[in-house]
Every structure is written in structure tokens, then in C-alpha cells.
Amino acid sequence: MHLRKLYRTIETLASQSAENEEQILANVIHAIIHSEAIKINGGRLWKIHPKTNSYILKYQEGDIEKIKKEYLLRLKDYPIFYDLPKIRTFLAKETDQYLRKKGVKKYSATGVGEKILVHNKLLYKYILAFNSEHTDDTFLDTLNIISVSLTNVLKSRKIEIKAKQLQQDIDKASDIQKSILPAHEIKFHPESFRDEIYGISIPDRIVGGDFFDYLQTTDEKDRLGVVIGDAASKGLSAAAQALYVSGALRMGFGFQIKMNSLISKINNLLNRVFNEANFVTLFYAELTNDKRGLMIFTNAGHNNPILYRPAMDSFEFLETTGQILGPFLNEKYATESTLMGLSKPVMRTMKCLAKTD
């Protein structure tokens, strides 16, 4: 068979549905043996067994005498196996007395799959051993093509599995992120004025660590918490951190814990639960019904929000009041306040912009 056609044939055979890698290789051995175009009449599948420093028999089929199930080929008896990652295929005389009694006088060995380190030496994960009446250069070419095509299929399958797992993680992370994000708009109506607040999260990746939230209890309408944060990690880990912080803030807000004490407690919780590399930055502010527009805030390493007062055409940066959350145990967080300006009982003529990277 032409080598290009052989490659495609093996690739097609290996791409059929199977539970795992071993099943794929067993199916290919079966198909090769029963193919009139490929002159091979028997085959065995061996898999590396690091604990015993051996290859263990996983499958055998064809016009060959069967050997013991899970028979071991110890690497100390087959040092040539260490050369397979370089040469891919070889033919050799059998030295194992048990196998010689089973009629195996000469054998082929073809490396397949990924190469892994076993006791600091590189070895193929699988070895295919085929029997044929024709063991010339054409036979070696055939085995090499089988090796290349199967290795590529197994590699592609591994990538596809990881991609599916990643997509599942992304879907989970996206669901978590959506569950903690509030409606884009909230109206805060103390007696003296009206505030309209708008928020939106557009992650730079499919799922990022950005989050925001509005905190308000049903029995306390004169106080509104506004949260914006960013988890340094990405994907599912970031979504989990965001959910963790958001839940802790909601609980603390409901129990009316002092702002600086609440943020310190959340910092210590993150320090104990998450890796220090997975820190969180956070800006947390509380709007009140104060007629002067009092806003109390703490800024844990987050980008400085910008407060704009149109009446005076002035900008104020709300500076950092403490470290990022997570890496530093028992960190203290200060609270600051600012006046957003006197206002009539209409919408306050002030804008505050807060964002993540």
C-alpha cells in the first residue's frame, strides 16, 4: 500500500469512537490484521508500567500463539527500548525464553503515543509488536507510518479531551460569573436625592476575574453598597474567587459589619483558602442618605476610581487604602470618605467611574 494512503487508512481507523487510548490501539491492531492490503498477521500491544520498570501486555490478536495476560517485558532485559524514542521502530531477535517457547524468535517494536519520563529516561507510552512473513525495508516503512499516524491521532484526541474539559470549565465559570453579576442598573432613592448607577462586565477573555455587585437589604433602603473587583487568576479559578468574595461581602453587609473589619476578614479568608498568586483587588463604597452626598469607601489595591463633579469641572481619584486581598495575612484596611456635593432632591450632578483592567 502507498505510504500516504496507509497513513490515511490508519488515521481513519484510529479516529473511530473508543473509550480510551488502549481501545483505539486494540481496534487498529484488529483492523490491520484483517486488512488484505496490509501484510501483517498478528500483533500485540504493550504499555509502559513505571512501577515495575517494564512494559505490560495489554492486548494480543492474530495468527500468533497467545502469551500470558499482562506479561511483563522488563526494561533491564530490553535496553534497546530506550532507543525507540530516537529510531521509532526496530527488528530484533527475541531473547526471552518464555516467548521463544511460544514461537517468537524475531520481533518488531514500534513506539506509539507520547514519550514519558520513567526513572529519568524517555520512553514511548506504548509499543506495538507485529508479526509478518515479510520483514524487509517495506515492513519497517509500514511500521513507521503506523507509528506516526497513531501517535498523531492520540495526540489530537488528548487535545480534544482537554478542549472539551476546558469548555466545560469555561461554561461553569461563565455560569458562576453570571450568577454573581447584578442587573446593569440600580436606582438609589434616599429622601433627599436620586442616584442612578450603571455597571457592566465585559471580560477580556471568555471568562475573566472581573466582577461588580450592588448590596442593599430589604429593610434598609438608605444605604447602598457598591462593589467592583478583579481576581488575578482567570477562568474557573477566577470565577470561584469572585463568587467567594461576593458572598462574603453580602453576608458582612447584611450583618452591618464595619467596612474596614469586613475587608480585613475577607483578606484573611482568601489567604487561607487560595494560593497567594491568586489575589483579588477590590473597591467597595457605601452610599448614604446624607444630604452632602457622603460616600465611605475602601480601596484594596484596585484601580483608582475617578469622581467627577461637573459643577466644578473637577476630578478626584479615590486612592488606595490598603493592600491587595489574599497574599498578606492580618493586613489592615483603612476607610476614607468623600462628599459628592450638595444636591437638591433631584438626580445628583456627579459621576463616579470605577473599572478593572
d(CA 160, CA 88): 25
The three cell numbers of residue 154 are 492520540
Position 291 scores a pLDDT of 76
pLDDT given at position 69: 92
Confidence (pLDDT) at 38: 75
CA-to-CA separations, 327 to 218, 233, 247, 356, in angstroms, rounded: 34, 13, 20, 19
- Give me the pLDDT at residue 356, please: 56
Which pLDDT does position 191 carry in this prediction? 53
What's the confidence (pLDDT) of residue 126?
96
> Which CATH topology does 3-156 take?
Beta-Lactamase (3.30.450)
The amino acid occupying position 205 is R
Residue 354's pLDDT is what?
A: 53
User: Residue 343's pLDDT is what?
Assistant: 42
Q: What are the sequence ranges of the domains in the chain? A: 3-156, 174-353
Question: Which pLDDT score, from 0 to 100, does residue 56 have?
Answer: 97
What per-residue confidence (pLDDT) applies to 189? Answer: 60
Distance of CA 275 to the CA centre of its chain: 16
Written out in words, the top-level CATH class of the domain with range 174-353 is alpha beta
Return the pLDDT at 173.
60
Which residues of the chain are under the pLDDT cut of 50? 1, 342-351
- pLDDT confidence of residue 349: 40
Phi/psi-derived region of residue 136, left when phi > 0, alpha when psi is between -120 and 50, beta in every other case: beta
pLDDT at 350: 45
Burial 104-114 (b: 16+ CB within 10 A, else e): beebbbbbbbe
